[in-house]
Amino acid sequence: MIAGPLFRVEGLTKRYGARIGCADVSFDLWPGEVMGIVGESGSGKTTLLNCMAGQLAPDAGRVLFDMRDRGMVDTVTMSEPDRRRLARTDWAFVHQHACDGLRMGVSAGGNVGERLMAVGARHYGDIRAAAIDWLDRVEIAADRVDDRPRAFSGGMQQRLQIARNLVTGPRLVFMDEPTGGLDVSVQARLLDLLRGLVREMGLSAIVVTHDLAVVRLLADRLMVMKDGRVVETGLTDQVLDDPQHGYTQLLVSSVLQV
């Protein structure tokens, strides 16, 4: 049934003037795989993520996605309406700051429900029921469905953002520091939630983070970036336990132990 990769990046490059954002990045992502991208601030990981997710136009390279009946299609050269449709159906994007991914003036239920309406759902009762079901899956009580995200804690906002993004059943989720800025106890709960959703929905995900503990627990594979380039890739635990590149060795050995 699984014929090939879900997502393929070829020679992806983005420059800011003379400066390199990311350069010549290539990899395949298969259905059900979670890939972590790590590197310090300024290493180009967020630029790469935005180029892959169609939020930033790359200078060179292709970003191919398996469009089922149409096969692998380059999303860089795809028409704007097609790319927008993709972004709200098969793709999802979880922002570091929930306020970038939520509509803060709309109720929690509305935040989830409007995604369903965007893909054609029209029956109010069904939409509300689906929204409540998803709030429950991300551990937000049903009696908060009419509250606005502003009244939520940071961890709840992040869980609401995840519900809003996953309600339409995407196949690929881009995540930018999904646990950044949260208390460690809230991070753990979010990680467990994400792992369960990835497993149950067969999701593929690309997670950008600077937190090596997060990728160890969440990602199957790892890509290490420095100065816009990929310096090392491999199985997550192999890269962290037996890093080959000097920069990865430095990153791994710099983590504070608790």
Partner 1 sequence: MTAARHGQEREKIMIQIDNVGKEFVLHNQGGAVIPVMAGAHLTVAPGECVALVGASGAGKSTLMRMIYGNYLCDTGAIRVGGVDVAQASPREIIALRRAVLGYVSQFLRVVPRVPTVDVVAEPLLALGVAADTARARACALLARLNVPERLWSLSPTTFSGGEQQRVNIARGFVHPYPALLLDEPTASLDAANREVVLGLIEEAKARGAAIVGIFHDEGARTRVADREVDVRAFTPARAA
Under the criterion CB under 8 A, does residue 235 sit at the interface with partner 1?
yes
Structure tokens belonging to residue 250: 């430095």
Q: Which one of 70, 253, 257, 258 is in contact with partner 1 (CB under 8 A)?
A: 253
Under the criterion CB under 8 A, does residue 220 sit at the interface with partner 1?
yes
Contact present, 124 and 114 (Cβ < 8 Å) = no
Tell me which stretch binds partner 1 (CB under 8 A): 41-49, 56-64, 102-110, 185-193. Answer: 185-193
For partner 1, the closer CB: 77 or 185: 185
For partner 1, the closer CB: 142 or 235: 235
Q: Which one of 15, 188, 201, 210 is in contact with partner 1 (CB under 8 A)?
A: 188
Q: How far is the CB of 82 from partner 1 (least distance, A)?
A: 29
Q: Which one of 10, 30, 72, 201 is in contact with partner 1 (CB under 8 A)?
A: 30
Tell me which stretch binds partner 1 (CB under 8 A): 54-62, 103-111, 126-134, 245-253. Answer: 245-253
Tell me which stretch binds partner 1 (CB under 8 A): 58-66, 85-93, 114-122, 192-200. Answer: 192-200
Under the criterion CB under 8 A, does residue 245 sit at the interface with partner 1?
yes
CA quadruple 91, 64, 205, 108: dihedral, nearest 10: -10
For partner 1, the closer CB: 6 or 127: 6
Tell me which stretch binds partner 1 (CB under 8 A): 65-73, 84-92, 137-145, 182-190. Answer: 182-190
Strands 204-208 and 91-94: unpaired
For partner 1, the closer CB: 89 or 233: 233
To the nearest 10 degrees (0 to 180), the angle between helices 154-166 and 108-118 is 20
Under the criterion CB under 8 A, does residue 201 sit at the interface with partner 1?
no
Exposure letters 91-124 (e unless 16+ CB within 10 A, then b): bbbbbbebeebbeeeebbbbbbbbbbeeeebeee
For partner 1, the closer CB: 30 or 97: 30
Q: How far is the CB of 169 from partner 1 (least distance, A)?
A: 18
Q: How far is the CB of 241 from partner 1 (least distance, A)?
A: 5
Using CB under 8 A, list all residues that contact partner 1: 30, 33, 184-185, 188-189, 191-192, 195, 199, 216-217, 220-221, 234-235, 237-238, 241-242, 244-246, 249-250, 253
